[in-house]
Structure formats: C-alpha cells, structure tokens
Amino acid sequence: MAMYNEKVMDYFMNPRNMGEIENPDGVGTYGSPVCGDMMQVSIRVEDDVITDAKFKTFGCGSAIASSSIATEMMIGKTIDEALAITNKQIVNELGGLPPVKIHCSVLADHAIKSAIYDYSQKTGKTYAGLEGFDPNAEEDDHHDIPEE
C-alpha cells in the first residue's frame, strides 16, 4: 500500500466536504465504466459562483481523495472556471496518483460536470464547457493514462 503519497492518504482518511447539500442547485452522479465505482457531487450556486460543493463516493481511496479535493477546487470558482477543471489538475493537486488509479480522477471530473449539467438543465443556462457533455455517456475513461 505504499503506492499512495501522503496527501492522497490524508484526503482519503480525512475527506473534506463529504456529504450532500440539502436542496442543491445541481447534483450529478456518475459511475465509472472502468470499475463500477460511483460518485455524487452536489453544488450550491450563487450568481454563477459555486459557493459550496459536497461529494459522496462509493469507491476506492483514490476516488474519495479525488472527489474531496475536487470539491475544494470548485468552491469559489465560477461555473466556467469549474468546468475547466481537468482530471489532470485533480491528479496534480493530489501530488500524483499511481497510473492504474488515474481513472479514479476522471470519475471526479465527470461528477463535477454532471452536477453542473444538472444545474444548467434546471436553470436553462448554457455553458461552453458543457458542449458535447453527455452525463450518461460511457465514454473513454482511459484517457490521460500515461503509457507504461
């Protein structure tokens, strides 16, 4: 189990923003086609700024750490800025993940976008960063995995 760095372990053992926002402005759930793990992100939005974000993850330690740090990265950002968060940035913020665990960060990336997608559906707003995003798509979750 020496494959996780200290920061990943910290976010796994002491996850920030775990739970669910009551009456959220947006909520999205995403299941990884790679491993079947699930993640839910709920958000509070005021004046197009994400003022709160929480997550629930039924998944591995990397998924918990990724979703926890992703909620921290979202809070205080505009919707457009939050949509620009990539799974690579999540991995970097965690100080790295083992290559076989990169898809866990993709799960967090998708869960963020799913929550914002829900918000856009509820409000009728459109965002360039959501163009082509299908919350139910089982798309290529293997992207960004470095070559061995």
Q: Does residue number 108 form part of the binding site for ligand FES (CB under 6 A)?
A: no
Known active-site residue 60: no
Which residues, 67 to 96, sit near ligand FES by CB under 6 A? none
**Closest distance to ligand FES from the beta carbon of 126 (Å):** 30
Q: Does residue number 145 form part of the binding site for ligand FES (CB under 6 A)?
A: no
Distance CA 101, CA 40 (A): 18
Q: Does residue number 38 form part of the binding site for ligand FES (CB under 6 A)?
A: no
Select 131 or 140, whichever has its Cβ closest to ligand FES.
Answer: 140
Determine contact, residues 82/114, Cβ cutoff 8 Å.
Answer: no
Distance CA 107, CA 62 (A): 10
- Exactly one of 35, 49, 60, 145 is catalytic; name it: 35
Q: Which three-class secondary structure state does DSSP give residue 50?
A: strand
Distance CA 138, CA 51 (A): 29
For residue 26 the two structure tokens come to 């947006």
Residues near ligand FES (CB under 6 A), total: 10
Contact segment (CB under 6 A) with ligand FES among 23-31, 43-51, 80-88, 101-109 equals: 101-109
End-to-end CA separation in angstroms for the chain: 20
Q: Does residue number 41 form part of the binding site for ligand FES (CB under 6 A)?
A: no
Q: In one letter, which amino acid is 128?
A: A
Select 35 or 49, whichever has its Cβ closest to ligand FES.
Answer: 35
Question: Order of strands across the sheet with 49-58?
Answer: 26-31, 38-46, 49-58
Select 41 or 63, whichever has its Cβ closest to ligand FES.
Answer: 63
Residues that bind ligand FES (CB under 6 A): 32, 35, 37, 59-60, 62-63, 101, 104, 107
